[in-house]
Amino acid sequence: MMMLAQAALSPEKAAQQFFQLFMSNQFAPSFECFSKKSQKHFLEWAFNHLKAQHPKAIEASGLSTKEVHIMFKRNDPSLIQSFWKHFYFNSGAGEIYQFGYFEPDEINGNQATVAVRLEYPNGQKGSVKLTMIKEGSQWKFGYLESGLDF
Protein backbone atom coordinates (compact mmCIF):
# COMPACT_ATOMS: atom_id res chain seq x y z
CA MET A 1 0.00 0.00 0.00
CA MET A 2 1.50 3.32 -1.07
CA MET A 3 1.30 6.29 1.30
CA LEU A 4 0.99 9.76 -0.17
CA ALA A 5 2.89 12.61 1.43
CA GLN A 6 0.62 15.00 3.28
CA ALA A 7 0.93 18.60 2.14
CA ALA A 8 2.15 21.05 4.76
CA LEU A 9 -0.60 23.17 6.27
CA SER A 10 -0.71 26.93 5.72
CA PRO A 11 0.00 29.05 8.83
CA GLU A 12 -3.70 29.77 9.45
CA LYS A 13 -4.69 26.12 8.98
CA ALA A 14 -1.87 25.00 11.32
CA ALA A 15 -3.06 27.49 13.96
CA GLN A 16 -6.65 26.36 13.59
CA GLN A 17 -5.55 22.72 13.82
CA PHE A 18 -3.89 23.39 17.19
CA PHE A 19 -7.15 24.72 18.67
CA GLN A 20 -9.17 21.86 17.17
CA LEU A 21 -6.79 19.28 18.64
CA PHE A 22 -6.64 21.02 22.01
CA MET A 23 -10.40 21.43 22.37
CA SER A 24 -10.81 17.75 21.38
CA ASN A 25 -8.59 16.79 24.34
CA GLN A 26 -5.87 15.55 22.00
CA PHE A 27 -3.13 16.94 24.19
CA ALA A 28 -0.11 15.01 22.91
CA PRO A 29 -0.51 16.20 19.30
CA SER A 30 -1.47 19.66 20.61
CA PHE A 31 1.87 19.93 22.40
CA GLU A 32 3.71 18.98 19.21
CA CYS A 33 2.00 21.91 17.44
CA PHE A 34 3.93 24.40 19.60
CA SER A 35 7.18 25.97 18.43
CA LYS A 36 10.39 24.68 19.99
CA LYS A 37 10.70 27.87 22.05
CA SER A 38 7.17 27.49 23.42
CA GLN A 39 7.68 23.77 24.09
CA LYS A 40 10.87 24.48 26.04
CA HIS A 41 9.13 27.11 28.18
CA PHE A 42 6.12 24.84 28.84
CA LEU A 43 8.36 21.88 29.72
CA GLU A 44 10.16 24.03 32.28
CA TRP A 45 6.87 25.35 33.65
CA ALA A 46 5.44 21.83 34.01
CA PHE A 47 8.64 20.53 35.61
CA ASN A 48 8.73 23.39 38.13
CA HIS A 49 5.04 22.93 38.89
CA LEU A 50 5.52 19.20 39.53
CA LYS A 51 8.61 19.94 41.62
CA ALA A 52 6.67 22.44 43.75
CA GLN A 53 3.83 19.93 44.24
CA HIS A 54 6.01 16.87 44.99
CA PRO A 55 9.57 18.01 45.82
CA LYS A 56 10.74 14.83 47.54
CA ALA A 57 9.38 12.53 44.84
CA ILE A 58 10.89 14.63 42.06
CA GLU A 59 14.27 14.70 43.78
CA ALA A 60 14.22 10.95 44.49
CA SER A 61 13.19 10.07 40.94
CA GLY A 62 15.70 12.34 39.22
CA LEU A 63 12.92 13.66 36.99
CA SER A 64 14.00 16.25 34.40
CA THR A 65 12.35 18.14 31.56
CA LYS A 66 13.30 15.21 29.29
CA GLU A 67 10.96 12.93 31.24
CA VAL A 68 8.33 15.66 31.40
CA HIS A 69 8.40 15.77 27.59
CA ILE A 70 7.68 12.02 27.58
CA MET A 71 4.82 12.70 29.99
CA PHE A 72 3.38 15.21 27.49
CA LYS A 73 3.66 12.65 24.69
CA ARG A 74 1.80 10.09 26.81
CA ASN A 75 -1.01 12.43 27.95
CA ASP A 76 0.00 11.97 31.57
CA PRO A 77 -3.03 12.70 33.82
CA SER A 78 -0.99 14.93 36.15
CA LEU A 79 -0.20 17.24 33.21
CA ILE A 80 -3.82 17.29 32.14
CA GLN A 81 -4.77 18.44 35.66
CA SER A 82 -1.95 20.97 35.95
CA PHE A 83 -0.56 22.26 32.66
CA TRP A 84 -3.47 21.84 30.27
CA LYS A 85 -6.05 23.11 32.77
CA HIS A 86 -3.85 26.16 33.45
CA PHE A 87 -3.37 26.65 29.70
CA TYR A 88 -7.10 26.54 29.03
CA PHE A 89 -8.00 29.15 31.62
CA ASN A 90 -5.14 31.52 30.78
CA SER A 91 -4.95 31.28 26.99
CA GLY A 92 -8.49 32.08 25.89
CA ALA A 93 -8.39 28.87 23.83
CA GLY A 94 -12.10 28.19 24.34
CA GLU A 95 -13.08 31.57 22.94
CA ILE A 96 -10.64 31.35 20.04
CA TYR A 97 -11.91 27.89 19.14
CA GLN A 98 -15.59 28.71 19.47
CA PHE A 99 -15.72 32.24 18.04
CA GLY A 100 -12.54 32.55 15.98
CA TYR A 101 -12.11 32.86 12.22
CA PHE A 102 -8.50 32.24 11.18
CA GLU A 103 -7.15 34.37 8.35
CA PRO A 104 -3.68 34.77 6.85
CA ASP A 105 -2.07 38.08 7.76
CA GLU A 106 1.60 38.18 6.87
CA ILE A 107 4.40 35.76 6.01
CA ASN A 108 7.98 36.91 6.42
CA GLY A 109 10.42 34.05 5.82
CA ASN A 110 10.06 31.48 8.61
CA GLN A 111 7.60 33.58 10.60
CA ALA A 112 3.96 34.27 9.87
CA THR A 113 1.16 36.15 11.54
CA VAL A 114 -2.36 34.74 11.61
CA ALA A 115 -5.21 37.11 12.37
CA VAL A 116 -8.01 35.55 14.39
CA ARG A 117 -11.23 37.50 14.07
CA LEU A 118 -13.51 36.86 17.05
CA GLU A 119 -17.25 37.25 16.51
CA TYR A 120 -19.40 36.69 19.59
CA PRO A 121 -23.14 35.82 19.55
CA ASN A 122 -23.97 39.15 21.23
CA GLY A 123 -22.48 41.06 18.28
CA GLN A 124 -19.23 42.01 19.98
CA LYS A 125 -16.07 41.57 17.98
CA GLY A 126 -12.45 41.13 18.89
CA SER A 127 -9.22 39.96 17.41
CA VAL A 128 -5.94 38.33 18.31
CA LYS A 129 -2.78 37.86 16.28
CA LEU A 130 -0.95 34.56 16.49
CA THR A 131 2.68 34.11 15.54
CA MET A 132 3.52 30.96 13.62
CA ILE A 133 7.09 29.71 13.22
CA LYS A 134 8.18 27.50 10.34
CA GLU A 135 10.28 24.64 11.70
CA GLY A 136 11.41 22.29 8.97
CA SER A 137 8.48 22.09 6.60
CA GLN A 138 5.75 22.68 9.20
CA TRP A 139 4.23 25.79 10.71
CA LYS A 140 4.25 25.65 14.53
CA PHE A 141 2.26 27.77 16.97
CA GLY A 142 4.60 30.30 18.55
CA TYR A 143 2.55 30.78 21.70
CA LEU A 144 5.29 32.66 23.55
CA GLU A 145 6.27 34.46 20.39
CA SER A 146 2.66 35.71 20.13
CA GLY A 147 2.96 37.42 23.53
CA LEU A 148 -0.09 35.61 24.92
CA ASP A 149 -0.68 35.23 28.64
CA PHE A 150 0.35 32.07 30.44
Residue 5 lies in a domain: no
Long-range contacts of 91-99 (CB under 8 A, 24+ apart): 91/143, 91/148, 91/149, 91/150, 92/128, 92/148, 92/149, 93/19, 93/22, 93/23, 94/23, 96/19, 96/128, 97/19, 97/20, 97/22, 97/23
Instruction: Summarize pLDDT for 50-100 with one digit per residue, the tens.
Output: 999 989 988 898 889 999 999 999 999 989 989 999 999 999 999 999 999
> What local confidence, expressed as pLDDT, does residue 58 receive?
87
* CATH number for 34: 3.10.450
Residue 1 lies in a domain: no
> What local confidence, expressed as pLDDT, does residue 76 receive?
93
Question: What's the domain count of the chain?
Answer: 1
Residue 111 lies in a domain: yes
Q: What is the DSSP string of 132-150?
A: EEEETTEEEEETGGGT---
d(CA 149, CA 91): 6
Q: Find the domain containing 80 and state its range.
A: 10-145
Share of the chain above pLDDT 90, in %: 86
Least confident of 11-15, 78-82, 135-139: 78-82
> What local confidence, expressed as pLDDT, does residue 6 receive?
53
| 150 confidence band (pLDDT: 50, 70, 90) | confident
Residue, of 101 and 8, whose pLDDT is higher = 101
Residue 3 lies in a domain: no
> What local confidence, expressed as pLDDT, does residue 44 receive?
96
Residue 4 lies in a domain: no
Residue 18 lies in a domain: yes
- Taking 60 as the threshold, does the pLDDT of residue 46 lie above it? yes
Residue 2 lies in a domain: no
Residue 89 lies in a domain: yes
